[in-house]
């Protein structure tokens, strides 16, 4: 049982083309990426004393996820930077993949500063400059 071949059955209909353009972003020009792609590090090396001090207090244990996310982000920023800078400006963009708000970032940085794991320069209305106390200083 074979059907007769008709070229019209395989033609593009204007309605189908319009639907494809709407779903595939056909006429829109993609925007320029403002930030570079974030590097993906597969292994994070943190000193044992850093984690011991970071989670020593009860307040730190209650806020364990934001503190760990900030430590991982700081470690990643330090090691993916070409010059391994220390101190590091910590932006909210660096923490967006962890789903942290800027208030959670500030709370975690204050706890880490109290536990003497990092030193933070709080600039008014700017991103904080964080010095990792377990890494050598490099400007």
**Fold adopted by 48-132:** Arc Repressor Mutant, subunit A (1.10.10)
pTM exceeds cut of 0.85: no
| Structure-block tokens of residue 102 | 């800027």
> How far, in Å, are 9, 44, 115, 134 from residue 49 at the CA level?
71, 15, 11, 9
Taking residue 13's Cβ as centre, other Cβ atoms within 10 Å add up to: 9
pLDDT tens, residue by residue, 97-139: 888 888 999 999 999 999 999 999 998 888 999 999 988 887 7
């Amino acid at each position: 049982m074979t059907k007769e071949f008709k070229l019209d059955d395989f033609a593009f209909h204007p309605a189908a083309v319009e639907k494809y353009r709407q779903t595939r972003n056909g006429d829109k020009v993609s925007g320029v990426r403002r930030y570079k792609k974030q590097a993906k590090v597969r292994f994070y090396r943190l000193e044992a004393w850093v984690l011991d001090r970071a989670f020593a207090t009860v307040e730190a244990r209650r806020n364990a996820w934001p503190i760990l996310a900030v430590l991982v982000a700081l470690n990643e920023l330090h090691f993916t930077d070409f010059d391994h800078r220390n101190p590091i400006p910590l932006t909210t963009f660096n923490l967006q993949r962890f789903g942290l708000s800027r208030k959670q970032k500030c709370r975690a940085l204050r706890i880490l500063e109290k536990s003497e794991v990092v030193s933070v320069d709080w600039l008014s209305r700017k991103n904080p400059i964080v010095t990792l106390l377990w890494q050598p200083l490099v400007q």
